[in-house]
Structure 1
Amino acid sequence: MATQEFYIRNESETEARGPFNQEQLSSLADTGQLTDETFVYNEASEDWVVIGTNLELKAPLFPEKKKLQIRAQVEEETADRAKTDSRPPVTVDEMLAAAEGRTADTKDRLDPQIAMGRAAAIGAWSVFIMLILSSAAEIAPSIDFVTKFQVEKLLEHPLVILGALDLFLAVIVGLGMLSAYPVIRFRAALGLGFLGFIFFTQGLSMPFLAVVAGSAGLYVCTVTVSIPIVLISSLVGIAGMLGVVYHMILGGS
């Protein structure tokens, strides 16, 4: 069987070199005189083709390069495994935290649901305190009529009725029945309109501002679940209700 002969040339060359046999081409490849971009004459197609596109010819000419690629890949995989193995073992607490959605990036952040629950609890306690203060301010000036249950006198002091409503709502909130919040919001608007009108028409600016602050704080605490907002509303509302208590019981003196 006749030995196959090859003619080669580079892209910039106009004249071919050869003929070469398979062994000679391998020698040229080893010395760098032949690359996978070198052109070889294809007798079947009677055309010049790049050696890199002829897999049958390329494989025996550049076996060492293939080995190097495999070796580099193996070394890279080994390095990746070494990095993975160097990581500290996962603890049970970390597994539980991951199951709850708390990772290393989020462990210092407060869970939104927990934050909303805390805000709701703060708001409920603040509403309870504000209602107690409000009922005290409204009932205390007429306490004699209340204890003696003088109905005709009580009718002359409608604030007692509002105070009784506040006391009732405070008990409801204290029992955790937050479904009464819509009624409490109506009560906040009613108190602002009723007491605010009385103080405004009498020219009592400080009690008027206290009623505005107390009613606004009471209202906002029933609608927000944001901790910063509920804290501010609680402070403003309680301060306002204390101002109303001061004016109604102590007479502002």
Structure 2
Amino acid sequence: MGEYYIQEPGSEEAKGPYDVGRIADLIEAGKASETTLYYDEDREDWLPLMECEEIRLAVNPVQKPLSLRPKDISEDSLNHDDEHLPELKVDQMLAAAEGNTDETRHLKKKHRAAETAAAISLPALAVIMLMAAIVDIWPNVAVISTIQEDGDYGLLISHPLLVVGVADLFLTLCCILSVTDAFPLIRFRMMLGFGYFTYIFWSWGDQTMMIAVAVSSFAAWFCTITLNLYAMIACAVLGIVGMGAVAVMTVLG
């Protein structure tokens, strides 16, 4: 059974992850509706709840007729002694009614960890993208001054890293504003850094910068796809330290 993040149309606040049973309960309680959106990881987009077959079946289950074959019914089965059934204690019944069983506690703990991981990802990515913007823009500060003085924006064509730096600033702002729809763009940017910039530093013979860019780019990319708390913390630290090292070396170099 899958777990999904949901949000109302026009809202930027996602809730969850919830399993399909919980989503069905929210709809029944009026806290969600068929117009509520869920995040489809395969399509990387927010879609209406009823477009997910698993959720649709949970909300509107297909009722199968129940029938008993004559041979299944006997006097013995009707008068069977329940002495072999396990004893159910009152405190166990109350715990199950309140959702305090071991299984529900495990799911709640898992959900809290996922929510914490999601809360960490955006601030961490904002810092990483800001560092990446510094790396791209700092060597081109003189070009920015020339563009401002002469108004010659055609110089941007001959300085593509400056364009990438502006894009990094835009992605930084998206992370600050919690725009998770920008995650595909961040993934593309980090793969660009992992491939192109790693190759550039390798061709220059700068092994330190090459490793720092590769590690930080991969870590930032992984931050956009995982909700595992420990993996998120590790990648956030690696991404910030790695890209921070590249930014410091760029500014001081």
Q: Normalising TM by the smaller chain, what interval?
A: 0.5 to 0.7
Query: What are the equivalent positions in structure 2 for 1:1-253 lying under 5 Å apart?
Result: 101-103=99-101, 111-149=109-147, 150-251=152-253
Structure 2 residue runs of 5 or longer lacking an equivalent are 1-86
Deviations 1:125-176 (A, max 9, x none): 1111100111011111212322442535443332111111111011112111
Q: Identical aligned pairs, as a percentage?
A: 31
Q: Quick one: distance in 1 between partners of 2:197 and 2:180?
A: 25
What is the Cα-based RMSD across aligned positions, in Å? Answer: 2.8
Letter of the 2:236 counterpart: S
Distance (Å, rounded) in 2 between the aligned partners of 1:144 and 1:104: 62
Task: Name the amino acid aligned to 2:160.
Answer: P
Query: 2: CA distance between counterparts of 1:99 and 1:136?
Result: 55
Displacement of 1:198 in angstroms is 1.1
Code of the aligned partner of 2:110: P
**1:208 match: secondary structure:** helix
Looking at structure 1, the residues matched to 201 and 238 of structure 2 have their Cα atoms a distance apart, in angstroms, of 19
- SS of the residue aligned with 1:115? helix
CA deviations over 1:80-105 (Å, ceiling 9, x no partner):
9xx98xx9xxxxxxx7x866623589
Q: Is the 8 A contact 1:213 1:239 kept in 2?
A: no
**Structure 1 residues not aligned, in runs of 5+:** 1-79, 88-94
Secondary structure, aligned partner of 2:195: helix
Partner of 1:32: none
Normalising by structure 1, what TM-score? 0.57
Once residues 102 and 226 of structure 1 are traced to their aligned partners in structure 2, the CA distance between those partners, rounded to angstroms, is 23
Between the aligned partners of 2:104 and 2:202, the Cα distance in structure 1 is 51
Q: 1:153 to 1:111 in 2, by over 3 A?
A: same
Deviation at 1:109, TM superposition (A): 8.4
